[in-house]
Amino acid sequence: MIHSFEFTFNNLEKYYKIALDTGYKIITCEDYALNNKRECPTIVNRVDVDLSVKKTERLIDLFNKLGIKASFFIRLHANEYNPFSFENYRILKRIVNEGHEIGYHSEIIDQSVIWDEDPGECLIKDIKILETMFNTTIKGVASHGGLTGLNNLDFWNNHKPNDYELLYEAYDDKYLKLFKNSFYISDSEWTQWKCYDKGVLISGDNRSFGEHVLQSDHKLIYLLIHPDTYFDRHIYE
């Protein structure tokens, strides 16, 4: 019985297996942006690579083992990691080479203020860098919530994804409309899950991804996880 969740890779694998056994189809953000009409219960599978790349490889291996795909959003200007270091680039190339989606975890408002540059120009340059390095087409961005106190999502109040040849922004409620039309589950509080129902925070509901699959009847789940939340034995590994 799933009762006291610990953020281990083993438990995460169990939860994905439960979802598959329950009949959920697991898709990428790009899949949803291309076709948001669902004929069966669906999980949109998103991974934000916030702090390091190393554990991202564990998730790639896990998803490949289960035969599912995910959207991985990568930062370009993080102090915490360099996506183009020898080892990080090797790992991140696997995302594209093995059939997953790679997207941009954007910080363009932060960049524009710190660098005194136009945020749209920052976005164009960064997407070009990612597309060149990974020999792919970037279809989506997800705004990163950093420590500056600024909101990178604000850029999209006055811009459309297709202005930049993108399919979607992952939190956009004007065009993608995924966040406000789904049951959103995230591990972003590190020691517990948090949930939003159609964009409204469900206070006190810290049930895990697996518990929601078993106990609820959500037709569309928007799942966000972060590689560094997970471990084999303890968080300080």
Domain boundary assignment for the chain: 40-173, 178-225
Tens of pLDDT along 181-191?
999 999 988 78
**Mean pLDDT to the nearest integer, 95-115:** 97
Tens of pLDDT along 114-147?
999 999 999 999 999 999 999 999 999 999 987 7
Q: State residue 1's pLDDT score.
A: 45
Q: Which residues contact 128 (CB under 8 A, 6 or more apart)?
A: none
**Considering the chain, what percentage of its residues have pLDDT values greater than 70?**
98
Superfamily of the domain at 40-173: Glycoside hydrolase/deacetylase (3.20.20.370)
Q: State residue 4's pLDDT score.
A: 52
Q: Which residues contact 144 (CB under 8 A, 6 or more apart)?
A: 48, 50, 73, 75, 105, 106, 107, 152
Q: Looking at the predicted structure, is the pLDDT value of residue 5 above 60?
A: no
The string over 129-150, giving b where at least 16 C-beta atoms fall within 10 Å of a residue's C-beta and e elsewhere, is: ebeebbeeebbbbbbbbbeeeb
Q: Looking at the predicted structure, is the pLDDT value of residue 103 above 80?
A: yes
Is the pTM above the cut of 0.75?
yes
CB 140 within 8 A of CB 103: yes
Q: Looking at the predicted structure, is the pLDDT value of residue 3 above 60?
A: no
**Mean pLDDT to the nearest integer, 14-35:** 97
Q: Looking at the predicted structure, is the pLDDT value of residue 2 above 50?
A: no
CB 108 within 8 A of CB 142: no
Q: Looking at the predicted structure, is the pLDDT value of residue 206 above 50?
A: yes
**Considering the chain, what percentage of its residues have pLDDT values greater than 90?**
86
Tokens 């998730």, located at residue: 59
Q: Looking at the predicted structure, is the pLDDT value of residue 173 above 80?
A: yes
Q: State residue 32's pLDDT score.
A: 97
**Mean pLDDT to the nearest integer, 159-176:** 95
Q: Distances from the Cα of 131 to the Cαs of 45, 110, 170, 237, in angstroms? A: 21, 21, 18, 33
